[in-house]
Structure 1
Amino acid sequence: MDARLPAHLEVSALIRAAEAAGGFGMVIQKGERDAGTILVVLLENGRDGRAYERMPQMDGTRAWTCSKREEMADSRAFSEYVQRRAGQDPDLWVIELDTARPERLIGIGA
């Protein structure tokens, strides 16, 4: 069985990690305190948005996967995607982390 950190603790840790790296983190939408899922919006200097969510893998684990990238030609589509995901799942936490190389905060490209 996969031991899971309560969502509110993981969200707090991610925001603190962004701040410790000289960046900024904030909660966009609060989800279910313990068992909620998390959508992380990663930015660098307020640009180049990437939305990451944990997706089930073939081996039964859940890995951070980029579900949407902001396209410069249509940045509205990225915002609409994040809003749509938030509206689909009331248990979903949506957080934004803005720092240099933000993927390292979720263990990607560290």
Structure 2
Amino acid sequence: MASGALVNALVRRAGREGGCATILAKGDATAGAILVIAQHRGENARAYERGIGPRGETALIAAGPEGDDKVNDYWMRRRKSDPDLWVVEVDIAQAERFVAETMLGD
């Protein structure tokens, strides 16, 4: 699925399930990487990306440091070096599970 379509699906699904998602930076609509900042009630921010797991399968990979300020600094540095990067903040219960289901669901 194209990156822009996947981001839009993530935003729509978060709203339907009682959470919210905000696009912090738009990347390449077709093939840009997607960095998701997952949190619940504005706390415990953690960044994730879709990548390759240890057995070669598509997996959700934790990226960068944990914590609100550190995650914010991390994505801004990443974005400077990769202008095609999408950055999406998702605030929903069981945020990591939600992101994995949405981004990895087949």
Match among 18, 34, 39 for residue 38 of structure 1: 34
Change in 2 beyond 3 A, CA 1:63/1:95: same
Tell me, yes or no, if structure 1 residue 78 matches structure 2 residue 71.
yes
TM-score where L is the length of structure 1:
0.81
RMSD of the TM alignment (CA)?
A: 1.7
Change in 2 beyond 3 A, CA 1:28/1:21: same
1:27: how far off? 0.5
Structure 1: 5+ residue stretches without partners = none
Tell me, yes or no, if structure 1 residue 57 matches structure 2 residue 53.
yes
Match of 1:11 in 2: 7
Aligned length: 101
Contact 1:42 1:97 in 2 (8 A): yes
Higher helix share: 2
Q: Mark the structure with the bigger radius of gyration.
A: 1
TM-score where L is the length of structure 2:
0.84
| More moved, 40-49 vs 62-71 | 62-71
CA deviation map 1:30-87 (0-9, x unaligned): 000111110000010011101001223355443211113434xxx4222111111111
State how far apart, in whole Å, the 1-side matches of 2:99 and 2:43 are: 18
Structure 2: 5+ residue stretches without partners = 102-106
State how far apart, in whole Å, the 2-side matches of 1:91 and 1:61 are: 24
Match among 98, 105, 109 for residue 98 of structure 2: 105
